[in-house]
Structure 1
Amino acid sequence: MQATDETRSRRWRLVLGGAAEAELGALGGTDDAAMDRALTALYNTADDRSGGKRAGSLGESAPRVARWLGDIRNYFPSSVVEVMQRDAVDRLNLTQLLLEPELLEAVEPDVHLVGTLLSLNRVMPETTKATARMVVEKVVREIERRVAARTVTAVSGALNRAARIARPRLRDIDWDRTIRKNLANYLPEHRTVVPERLIGYGRKAQAVHRDVVLAIDQSGSMASSVVYASVFGAVLASMRSLKTSLVVFDTEIVDLTDQLSDPVDVLFGTQLGGGTDINRAIAYSQSLITRPADTLFVLISDLYEGGIREEMLRRVNAMKDSGVQVVVLLALSDDGAPAYDHDNAAALAALGIPAFACTPDKFPDLLALALDRGDVQAWANLNAGGQN
C-alpha cells in the first residue's frame, strides 16, 4: 500500500528535523515527539534555524544514554536500532560509556557491538565484564543457531565423499554406485554386470580425516570476521573427523585452539587492534601442519601486511606447493565489499591462491568444497563478493 501524503510528510519531517517543520508541519502525538527527540540527540544540528554544524549530543551521563537507548528500542525496529547504536558510538564518542553495566543492559546486541566490546576488553572493569560477556554470548549463540547445523551437514558430506575407497571390503561396498559405474560392462547373456571397479565408503570410525587451520587477523577492521570465524572454529572443533586449530594474530600470535569448546572464551582471548604481521602468523601456522595433503589452511585477513611482504608470499606459496589447500578470505562478514590490499590479493591470485570475501551463510559451502578439493576459485566467482 502506498504511503499517504500525510505519512510521507511525517517521515520526511522525522528525517530532516525541526528545520523542516515550517514546510512539512508539526509532528503529532507523543510517540512522534519521542522519536524526534531520539533522532535529534544523534543527528540534528546544534541549532536547526541557523543551519549550523551537525552536532548531536547525548550528554555525559550514562543513565541519560541508557534512557536514550531504551527510547530507540521502543520506537524503532531492531535493524534501525543497531544502525543508530553504531552511529552513536562513532559520532558521539560513546565508547567509554559502553563500560557502564547499566548501559550494556540497554543495548541491542549485534556483531558490531561485540567487536567494540572486544576492543575494550583489556580496559574493561571487572564490574562490567560479566555484563559484556552476556551480551557477547547472546550474539554468539544466535550465530551458532544460524550456521552450526548447515556447517556440520556440508562438511560431513564432503568428508564422506572423500572417504570413498576403490578397494572396499565386501561389507563396505556401495552396490548402487558400483553397479552404475560399471553399466558399460553389462553381459546380456549372463544378465549381470562385471564390476571392474568397486566403489565403497571407508568404515565409519573416529579417525581424523582432515586438518583445518584458521588464522584470523585481529586488527580493528576485522572485528566482524573475528566474531564469525571464532564461531565457525568452535563448530568445526566439535566434529571428531576434523582436527581444528585456531590462531589469532596482529604483530603477536595467540593460539586459541584449547579454547575452541566455547567461542565466547575464544573471543575474549582476542585483542582487536594493533598492527599486522601476516608473515609471522603464516610461519606459526606452518608449524601446526603435519599432513599437508590432508590440510585446509584458511587465512582471514585484509592483507595489509606490516611484516615482510616477500617472505609472506614465499611462505604461503610453499604451503600450497606442499599440498595444503590454501584459501584467503578478505572478510568473513555481512558488511559488504571489504577494504583490502589489492596488490597482495593480486599477488596471491597469481600464485593460484584464491582471495575473496565471503558471507557467513556461504562459508559452510566453501568449507565443504575446499575439503573436497573442489575448484574454490570458480565457486568464489559465482557466489562470493569482493573478488580481487
Structure 2
Amino acid sequence: MTDTTAGAERLRRWRLVLGGGEADGTGWAPTGRDAAMDGALGALYGGAGAGRGDRAERSAGLGGSAPRVARWLGDIRTYFPTTVVQVMQRDAIERLGLSALLLEPEMLEAVEPDVHLVATLLSLNKAMPDTTRETARAVVRTVVERLEERLAERTRAAVTGALDRSARTSRPRHADIDWNRTIRANLKNYLPEHRTVVPERLVGYGRAARSVRKEVVLCVDQSGSMAASVVHASVFGAVLASMRSVATRLVVFDTAVVDLTEQLDDPVDVLFAAQLGGGTDINRALAYCQSRITRPADTVVVLISDLHEGGIRDEMIRRVAAMKAAGVEFVALLALSDEGAPAYDHAHAAALAALGAPAFACTPDLFPEVMAAALEKRPLPIPPPTT
C-alpha cells in the first residue's frame, strides 16, 4: 500500500469514527457503501455534527419507529461483522430504549441472535404477546443450539474422562477388571512366543464406583446482572442431564427458589421458565439444594452468583461450611460468561475462599475443565485475575 493510499484509508477510518461535522477535521466525505455505513452509525451514535467520541453528547436518530429500526438492523448486518453487529444491537437496546420494539415479530426476525439478546427477551417474557412468543423462542433456540454445538462435545468428553479416572483402580476384583485398559497398559509385556500379554498391572473399577452415579447441582442466581450466566448454565445443565453417568439438578433463584430439573431436556423451556431480575436470597437457595443431597461425597454443588446476598449472610457461609464438611465438592462461580467477573461482594468471596471454595469468574470454554476437576476432587483450574 502506497503512502497516499494509506493516508486516505486513515482519513476514511477517522471520518467514520468522528462522524463528520466541523469537529472531524478530515475533509473526507463518504460515498456509496461508506455513506451507508456512516448513516447506520449516525442513527445510533449521533447524526451529522455529533462527534462519536463523546457518548454523553450523542443524540439518537432511530426514534421509536419499528419499520425504521428493522431497516437499520438489516443495514448493520449488511455492513458490519457479526461481533460488531451484536455490540451495536446492545447499545441500541440500552441507550435508545428499544426493548419494547423487540416484542414485534418483524423486529425479532431482523436481529442477530446472541446471548445478550436472549437475556433481553427473557426479561420481557411476561410482557411478550402470543404473536411474538414463537418468534422469540426461535431466536432463543438459535442461540442455544450454537452454544450446544460449541460446548456439548467438550463437556461430555471432560466429564466422562474425569469419571473414568476417579473410578479407576489398580487392584480390582476379577469381575471388575477393565480388560481393554489392562491390555493397553501392559502391551510392553507382550510375549510373542506365547502370543499373550503378561499383565503386571491390572486396571479396573471398584464396585462402588461402578454402581454410584455422581450428582451435580447447578444453583444459579437469576438476578438481572447474571442473565448471561443463566443462559449458559441452562445449556450446560441440559448437556450434563443427557449423560447417564451424572444425575443433574438445576435450581434457579432470586428471593424465591425454583427447581427446573424436570425441564432440563430442553434448555429453551428452562430459559422461558426463568424470571430474570428481582432480589437475591442465596442462603434459601443453598438450603433447598442441601435438602436434596443424599450422597454428599458423590455430589458437586456449583453456585453461580455475584454473591450479593439479600438473605442471611452468616447462615449462608455456615451452610457452605456444613456441605463441605459432609464431603460435598463446592464450586463458586461469580459468572459463567465470556464477559469476566461482574461487580461482586468481595467480603462473601473472601469468606468462601477461607472455607476452601474460592470464587472466580469462569468462561463457558473453561467450565468443562472446572467440572472435571471438581468431579475428580482435584484443584480447580482458577484463571489468573484480569487487570
Q: Is the 8 A contact 1:217 1:301 kept in 2?
A: yes
Q: TM-score scaled to structure 2, two decimals?
A: 0.89
The CA distance in 1 between the partners of 2:210 and 2:354, in whole Å, is 38
Aligned residue runs from structure 1 range 104-123, under 5 A: 104-123=108-127
Is residue 2:182 matched to residue 1:175? yes
Asked if the contact 2:19/2:49 (under 8 Å) is kept, the reply is no
Q: 1:349 and 2:356 equivalent?
A: no
- Which amino acid letter does the alignment assign opposite residue 281 of structure 2? D
Q: In structure 1, what is the Cα distance between the partners aligned to 2:71 and 2:29?
A: 22
Range moving further from structure 2, 13-22 or 199-208: 199-208
Alignment match, 1:31? 33
State the secondary structure of the residue aligned to 2:310: coil
Paired residues of 1:144 and 1:231 also in contact (CA < 8 A): yes
Q: What SS does structure 2 have at the residue aligned with 1:4?
A: helix
Residue 207 of structure 1 contacts residue 241 of structure 1 at CA under 8 Å; is this kept in 2? Answer: no
Unaligned runs of 5+ in 2: 190-196
Give the aligned residue type for 1:10: R
Identical columns (%): 63
Taking only aligned residues, the RMSD between alpha carbons, in angstroms, comes to 2.6
What residue identity is the alignment partner of 2:40? A
Cα deviation for residue 208 of structure 1 reads: 4.7
Kept after mapping to 2: 8 A contact 1:168/1:198: no
**Pairs within 5 Å for 1:1-388:** 4-19=6-21, 23-44=25-46, 48=50, 53-165=57-169, 166-169=171-174, 172-173=177-178, 174-175=181-182, 198-202=202-206, 207-376=211-380, 379-380=381-382, 383=383, 385=385
CA distance in 1, matches of 2:352, 2:210: 35
Residue 168 of structure 1 contacts residue 199 of structure 1 at CA under 8 Å; is this kept in 2?
A: no
**Distance in 1 between residues matched to 2:176 and 2:99, nearest whole Å:** 62
Residue matched to 1:187: none
Q: Distance in 2 between matches of 1:224 and 1:248?
A: 13
Kept after mapping to 2: 8 A contact 1:338/1:386:
no
- In the aligned structure 1, how far is the partner of 2:102 from the partner of 2:247? 37
Structure-2 separation of matches of 1:9 and 1:38: 19
Check 1:34–1:200 CA distance in 2 against 1; reply closer, same or farther (3 A cut): same
Separation in structure 1 between the aligned mates of residue 307 and residue 238 of structure 2, nearest angstrom: 24
Shift, 1:33, TM fit: 1.2
Relative to structure 1, the CA distance from residue 82 to residue 215 in structure 2 (aligned partners, 3 Å threshold; closer, same or farther) is same
Tell me if the contact between 1:295 and 1:324 (Cα under 8 Å) persists in the aligned partners.
yes
Checking the alignment, whether the CA contact within 8 Å between 2:167 and 2:209 is kept in structure 1 is no
Alpha-carbon separation, structure 2, partners of 1:143 and 1:204: 34
Contact 2:251 2:259 in 1 (8 A): yes
Q: Tell me, in whole angstroms, the C-alpha distance in 1 between the residues paired with 2:13 and 2:237.
A: 44
CA contact (8 A) 2:340 2:362 kept: no
Equivalents in 2 of 1:296, 1:22: separation in Å?
Answer: 57
Structure 1 counterpart SS, 2:70:
helix
1:189 maps to none
Structure 1's 7 and 243: CA in aligned 2 closer, same or farther, altered over 3 A?
A: same
CA contact (8 A) 2:176 2:206 kept: no
Which residue of structure 2 aligns with residue 185 of structure 1? none
* Cα separation, partners in 2 of 1:366 and 1:205, compared to 1, 3 Å: closer
Distance 2:259 2:168 in 1: 33
Whole-angstrom distance in 1 between the partners of 2:153 and 2:160: 11
Q: Give the residue type in structure 2 aligned to 1:363.
A: F
User: Which amino acid is 2:148 matched to?
Assistant: E
Question: In the comparison of the two structures, how many residue pairs are matched?
Answer: 371
Deviates more, 1:17-26 or 1:217-226: 17-26
Q: Is the 8 A contact 2:165 2:376 kept in 1?
A: yes
Unpaired segments of 5 or more residues in structure 1? 183-191
